[in-house]
Amino acid sequence: QKEVEQNSGPLSVPEGAIASLNCTYSDRVSQSFFWYRQYSGKSPELIMSIYSNGDKEDGRFTAQLNKASQYVSLLIRDSQPSDSATYLCAVNKVDSSYKLIFGSGTRLLVRP
Amino acid sequence: EAGVVQSPRYKIIEKKQPVAFWCNPISGHNTLYWYRQNLGQGPELLIRYENEEAVDDSQLPKDRFSAERLKGVDSTLKIQPAELGDSAVYLCASTLDWGKKDTQYFGPGTRLTVL
């Protein structure tokens, strides 16, 4: 079992729709959760971080965390073609290293 | 403020040849990371530096990979000799100080192709 799992996609949504991206993790005591966006041929860019159960909103993005169920999700409202990218979920491993464990990413395609 | 700088952006070499990648983190960032990202996968940590000290190199294949950060600023990652399976994007990232909530800023990466 991978430590951080994501559906590889592609997830295809029409422009203006809500895109929902999901991620599950195996380490129950993980404390910090991040969503990175990566355009093709580019480096990852942090778009959201979340540390507590519940929702966190930032513009068109909402991150949701449920530690009991060990999942974190990202909602993108009013999806735009420019949102088309791979979205990487990352979890901070709780040990002396505090290193980020990344999922393989979900490719999102927003159709005009 | 300049971001994380990496060079070269692309490198093509034949197997068994050596190769080196260079990274200059954001000014003032004490923590530096080297990641490897294979096609279709997320980045995987190779090594983390706190200033000039390598505090986590458990994922670094030490038989062929080496890294240094002599003055606690820029860093070099070396592979010698390179193998076909080393083809990947090598990403450098930095944070102001390591900790569970600090944002990691990534450089543009070096795409390595081993023929």
A100 touches chain B (CB under 8 A): yes
Mutation target vs B (from A37, A87, A100; most B CBs, 10 A cutoff):
A100
Distance from CA of A103 to the nearest CA of B (A): 5
pLDDT of A96 strictly over 80: no
Distance from CA of A25 to the nearest CA of B (A): 14
**What is the Cα gyration radius of chain A?**
13
Between CA A78 and CA A89 the distance in angstroms is 21
Confidence of residue A31 (pLDDT cuts 50, 70, 90): confident
pLDDT in tens, A37-76: 999 999 999 999 998 999 999 999 999 999 999 999 999 9
Sheet with A19-25, side-by-side order of all strands = A4-5, A19-25, A71-76, A61-66, A54-58
